[in-house]
Structure 1
Amino acid sequence: MLEEVEQWLGRRSWSCGERPPAGLPAAKRAAGSRVSVVLPALNEERTVGEIVSAIRRELMAPARPVGLVDELVVMDSGSTDRTAQVAAEAGAQVVHRDAVLPRLPALPGKGEVLWRSLLVTSGDIVCFVDADLRDFSADFVSGIVGPLLTDPQLQLVKAMYDRPLGDDPSGGGRVTELVARPLLNLHWPRLAGFVQPLGGEYAARRTLLEQLPFPVGYGVELGLLVDALHTAGLDALGQVDVGVRHHRHQDGRALGRMAAAIHHTAQVRLARGSRLVRPTLTQFERAGAGGGFAGFAPRSHAVDTVERPPMREVPEYAARRAA
């Protein structure tokens, strides 16, 4: 298995410099593809505008004679700040989560808005980019879209990068290293070569995404990667080095909730139809004087357990595609 992973790394891992953005519009025309970029956003007014502006400036017409990106959509996941206004002023199409598929009440979670974005985008290639990135480079888009335009066998390409935390250049991937990577190595060792399996920057063909179920929460990246392996095969998956990813880091309790959702997503895929015995995560906070149990107070949180069905099974999506 190690030999297979090493062979895959040699033929399916690249640097973004291997496919300069200037050459990609010609490849896009030759492939006859349209590219949609989707930014899932929840209270990201500080960063979303810079990301949108960079994509429009570097990758879209009329700023570029031939645009690599045809459609730029910010999916607002219920923001209470100026995220939607900032994104619209920067030039994005802003769609609120609740306005998509209104017959089905929206659930909180990143995977929910990614799933719904398939109903409001038209690209043959859909590129997801997190909206909390700082010092954003358009390489995050062109780098992962490029291989899909130049290699028809590829179905999904993830970005890989350093994630600095303080003085540690790779210290930001705590849930990846403590939860996701052990799970993948133990249960899906063919995916062990992915540097950032939980990274939020990846591009895929619509024909693949519409076949896959979407966990509604933070398990979505792991779920899509595992299901893509089983649906398309390892050689249809790739990764591109885009440098360094600077973003907002979560506190330990938030990371614990993410880890629980990711573990549940893995469990579902290991035993389809099984039930999580206790879909609740109990965490502890230091209580005030006289509060809690010996100074600590329990706080319980529901674990994301819902998964949305493959989009091609949704009647509204099938009708839209037929039209």
Structure 2
Amino acid sequence: MKNISVIIPAWNEEVTISEVIRKAFNSKLTKEVLVIDDDSTDNTVSVALLSGACVIGSAEKGKGISMQEGVRLATGDYLVFLDADIPTYPEDIVDLMANPLMEGNIDFVKSCFDRQAGRVTELLAKPLLDIYFPELNQFSQPLSGIVSGKRSFLENIVFENDYGVDIGLLIDMYQANARIAEVNIGYVENKMKPLQSLGNMAKEVTRAIMNRAEADTTYHAVPHQSVIGGLRAELNPALKHKVVVFDMDRTILSDSFIQTAARHFGFEKALRKIALEYVNPVIRTKEIAKLMKGHTIAEIIEVLDMIPITPDFEQTVQALKQRGCIIGIVSDSYSLVTNHLMHRFQLDFTMANDLEFWRGNTTGEVKIPSAFFRHHEAKCKHDYCKSHVISYVSAALGLTLDEIMVIGDGENDMCMVQKAGLGFSFCASHPALELVADVVLRERSFEPMLAYVE
């Protein structure tokens, strides 16, 4: 019968290590528990030995080295890695992490748990994964260190030896064509990283991702129809309007992203010239993207963070989610920006234009998702229009347009506001929008729209 080696990297965890080891031995399939000690100065080693674990001193400091040594020394067919500072694991933690492997159709398991993902995850790791490894953003906590895998896969991995170890391992397993699953292990408590360590953590996580990114040009990811379709299970059939779509510029944000970027980066005059010269929205979009050439992800997010959010947006999102709505952003801005907002406010999807990147910098090129273009079932005659995205989303979710609610402010929102089952004009920057909207909101508050969610 296949068996399990549990590997626990540890450093100065005398208070919690005994409970972690006890739970590791709870599984009937646990063959051995290996504590890889990172030169602890407290009683971690003696407590671990008394608890029945095999203790090995790490040859070099660092969690990654300890994990690598655990893989080398383990004799089990399946390896489960546990953090030593979490005494609140469920009693069956090893079985939870190993069962998908034992069933034979999974090679690597990433854990998630009932705690909001941290700041580095939401503001850095997930946006970078959106760009370079979009297939991995399905994992809610990509920096989680509680993982398991087949030894045959793990023994071929070179582990990072810093904060990048966990995200690096996830990407390495993906690039090795491992079949990966995510398992929710319930509620856990562990030590929060001190504020002063977050800077180093951010740098090391970034380095781990970028070192693994392909050396060629990468596009920012957009949600494919299958991904949006995966939200079907979350639809509330009792709601008349099941999906709520927000415009971004001057709706969620108090100002336009590109105009704020123009002021910050100094291309206001060039932006005005493009707006006057190019009527075709596709050509205009591509010309504007050229003005963004050379800027880094961090610089773009810095501009976004300058723009105030409509004050009650977060509360409105929470209220909509409590009622069972699917919430997304459709914007003719950039998906790097909309996805950052999606992660920050826990939205369900976004659709926007994809800036092209080369080694972390924008190239000045942009990819417009096909969902923005007219198709044979389109309700709008424009060749390029945000209303086509609404049709795309409704089709992916198996809904009609009548089941979608849209909120926008400008001329480019008119068609999607008009075509949706319920369209809101929000502090309209173009007077014609109010003529086609079902509801007109002239104050910067989303609260009145909640009365229409039923």
TM-score (norm 2): 0.46
* CA contact 1:155–1:232 (8 Å) conserved in 2: no
Alignment of 1:1-323 (within 5 A): 32-56=1-25, 58-59=26-27, 67-98=28-59, 106=60, 108-150=61-103, 152-163=104-115, 170=116, 173-233=118-178, 236-270=179-213
User: Alpha-carbon deviations, 1:60-110, whole Å to 9, x = none?
Assistant: xxxxxxx22111111101111111111111111111102xxxxxxx2x321
Instruction: Give the whole-Å Cα distance in 2 for the aligned partners of 1:135 and 1:79.
Output: 22
1:156·1:203 contact (CA, 8 Å) conserved in 2? Answer: yes
> Partners of 1:229 and 1:44 in 2: how far apart?
31
| CA shift for structure 1 position 271 | 5.5
Give 1 or 2 for the bigger CA radius of gyration. Answer: 2
Q: How far, CA to CA, are the matches of 2:79 and 2:57 in structure 1?
A: 18
Q: Secondary structure at the match of 1:260?
A: helix
The residue type equivalent to 1:227 in the other structure is D
Alpha-carbon deviation of 1:136?
2.6
Contact 1:144 1:239 in 2 (8 A): no
Answer whether contact 1:112 1:217 (CA < 8 A) is retained: no
Aligned length: 215
Question: Percent identity of the aligned residues?
Answer: 34
Given that 1:155 and 1:208 are in contact with CA atoms closer than 8 Å, whether structure 2 keeps it comes out as yes
CA distance in 1, matches of 2:153, 2:199: 30
Q: Give 1:223 deviation, angstroms.
A: 0.9
Letter in 2 for 1:240: V
Give me the whole-angstrom Cα distance separating, in 1, the residues matched to 2:12 and 2:214: 35
Greater relative contact order (Cα < 8 A, sep 6+): 1
1 CA distance for matches of 2:11 and 2:200? 17
Could you state the TM-score of these two structures normalised by the residue count of structure 1?
A: 0.64
Mapped contact 1:42–1:79 kept (Cα < 8 A): yes
Paired residue secondary structure (2:30): coil
1:78–1:173 Cα change, 3 Å: same
Contact residue 139 and residue 242 of structure 1 kept, 8 A: no
The 8 Å contact of residues 36 and 72 in structure 1, kept in 2 or not, is answered as: yes
Q: Are the aligned partners of 2:90 and 2:186 in contact in 1 as well (CA < 8 Å)?
A: no
Q: What amino acid is aligned across from residue 264 of structure 1 in structure 2? A: R
For 2:209, what is the secondary structure of its paired residue? helix
On the 8 A contact 1:38/1:128 being kept in 2, the answer is: yes
Q: Can you give the 5+ residue segments of structure 2 that lack an aligned partner in the other structure?
A: 216-454
SS of 1:245's partner is: coil
Moved more, 134-143 or 200-209: 134-143
Query: RMSD of aligned C-alpha atoms?
Result: 1.4
Q: Give the SS at the match of 2:48.
A: helix
SS in 1 for 2:95: helix
Letter in 1 for 2:50: E
Please state how far the C-alpha of 1:187 moved relative to its aligned partner. 1.0
CA shift digits 1:179-208 (9 cap, x unpaired): 211111221000011011111111000111
How many Å apart are 1:178 and its aligned residue? 2.0
* 1:271/1:190 CA distance change after superposition, 3 Å: closer
Q: Deviations over 1:129-180 (max 9, x none)?
A: 0000032323332111001001x231101111122xxxxxx2x622211221
